[in-house]
A and B are shown apart, each in its own frame.
Chain A
Amino acid sequence: MSVNVVLECSSLAVKKNSCYSQKLRSGGFRKRKYDNFPHGQRREEKENVNPSSALMTSFKSFQMELDTRHDKYERLVKLSRDITIESKRTIFLLHRFTSAPNGEEILNESEVKLDAVRRKIKQVAQELIGEDMYQFHRAISPGLQEYIEAVSFQYFIKTRSLISVEEINKQLVFAAEDREETTNMTSNSHDKPPHTWSLKVTPVDYLLGVADLTGELMRLCIGSVGNGDIDTPFELSQFLRQIYDGFTFIGNTGPYEVSKKLYTLKQSLAKVENACYTLKVRGSEIPKHMLADVFSTKTELIDQEEGLS
């Protein structure tokens, strides 16, 4: 008995020390401890834990359920990352639009890229069949926002206006006609897929995506000035002001993330407005071919500011 007591005291001390260690390790440790007490009370208790008892079977099913859920979450995070990367590339591509002479080609290329992104989003929609979308919303939200940014940027370049939520959602309805090809491609086919899958962008995701869009528009504005384009900046400042007014209208009604973006949005707007101001003031005195020089120093300054903030 006394030996047992000593053993237990020491084992408790060890256990205390390793309290923050991994659960797996503590599990292994526990096993050893039981071996030290072949005739003790603990041994009896251990035997009481019947692996096929009602409690253990229900926990086995919990294990299954949790694993399935975590796996799905991981798959969605992966898809979201891919969507983010592809959308970012599309945005970079679209920034080349103004400087390149072959604008039409770049637009077509961006369309192809966005189609690829939409295929990924379709996989997301497939994963979410029969699920509560909000349960996994955190996994896919960053990707969706980036997609909204890309798609609205393209839409702006094409039409000079803001894409609506409805318009975005319309593009995210996937018809059943290409069901065969996807079920062949991906192994996770579902027993009874509905005729169409759709993914609805939430209003908040939309707002956050649009807020990001304004940053891109600011870049576009400064970039176009650098290229000697005098009209685009004024157009952009008009557009940005509309969006800014919209955001101030929403104000604190929206969630915290939206109000956070409002600050950055204000900065972007200020930069664009300053650019327009400079254009107006100096445009009348400096010959057009020298404007590029004026703005190349201006953009450097702005970049420095950005690095600081």
Chain B
Amino acid sequence: MSVSDMFIALQGVLTADQDIREEIRKVVQALEQTAREILTLLQGVHQGAGFQDIPKKCQKAREHFGTVRTQLESLKTKFPADQYYRFHEHWRFVLQRLVFLAAFVVYLESETLVTREAVAEILGIEADRERGFHLDIEDYLSGVLTLASELARLAVNSVTAGDYSRPLRISTFINELDSGFRLLNLKNDSLRKRYDGLKYDVKKIEEVVYDLSIRGLNKEATVGEGEEK
């Protein structure tokens, strides 16, 4: 095989590679669009009036996740199944965003942290690497960290809207999340950088809870909370 033949063959491989990337990029763009739509929908909860119809908003968001599922389904067909990490960077960001959105919906519905398996199910993908297109653990954790900052914001806005009990529940939730993340030995990478931001979210929520406590606004709320449990 002559040198030029070898390079012609390699060029063919590289071009095929670029085509795959192009295809993936198209689907990822569509996914980003859907993710933005869901986010806009859920942003409604920060408005005073939005607190009443949270279940309705969640319902709508879940419908949108149907679109996400079909889009992810088509993404799977764009590249060989065993080369997930080769093209990972292309959908990493949008997948983290979708994890956050799914986690947000689940939190608003049940005030619990969505499990990795449940997210995978909402998105119509696998939790395990062995079984195909899956959710990488670091992407899952990144999405959960985004949820934490969103909840810090929600705590502030729910006080404005007159809901004094929600910040206390959020505080409990975030504290548990914080303890969970402290169990992890993170490397000095992007996930670690985002984890470093968690303490500000914790602090923000603590401040809200503090403001409520010194004004005695948490009294009836804690009673209500006690009943819930």
Contacting residue for A65 out of B13, B84, B137, B181, CB 8 A: B137
Please classify how large the interface on chain B is, using the bins under 10, 10 to 19, 20 to 34, 35 or more. Answer: 35 or more
Contacting residue for A253 out of B15, B82, B180, CB 8 A: B15
- Is A79 close to B, CB under 8 A? no
Contacting residue for A62 out of B4, B15, B137, B218, CB 8 A: B137
Counted as pairs of residues, one from A and one from B, with CB atoms less than 8 Å apart, the total is 122
Q: Contacts A19-B199, A62-B137; is A134 near B185 (CB within 8 Å)?
A: no
Tell me the bound Cα distance from A203 to B86 in angstroms. Answer: 13
Tell me the bound Cα distance from A25 to B7 in angstroms. Answer: 54
Residues of B close to A12: CB separation below 8 A: 203, 207
Is there contact, CB below 8 Å, between B85 and A66? no
Contacting residue for B14 out of A55, A246, A254, CB 8 A: A254
Q: Contacts A134-B86, A242-B4; is A55 near B180 (CB within 8 Å)?
A: yes
Residue of A with least CB distance to B10? A203
Residues of A close to B185: CB separation below 8 A: 63, 66-67, 70
Tell me the bound Cα distance from A289 to B116 in angstroms. Answer: 75
Residues of B close to A161: CB separation below 8 A: 3
Tell me the bound Cα distance from A23 to B196 in angstroms. Answer: 8
Is there contact, CB below 8 Å, between B183 and A45? no
- Tell me the minimal C-beta distance from A129 to chain B in angstroms: 13
- Tell me the minimal C-beta distance from A230 to chain B in angstroms: 23
Interface residues of A (CB under 8 A from B): 1, 5, 8, 12, 15, 19, 23, 26-27, 41-42, 45-46, 48-49, 53-56, 58-60, 62-63, 65-67, 69-70, 132-135, 137, 161-162, 164-165, 203-204, 206-207, 239, 242-243, 245-247, 249-250, 253-254
Given A70-B185, A135-B84, A250-B7, 13 extra CB contacts under 8 A: A45-B175, A55-B177, A59-B180, A60-B183, A62-B137, A63-B184, A162-B6, A164-B1, A164-B6, A206-B10, A242-B4, A253-B11, A253-B14
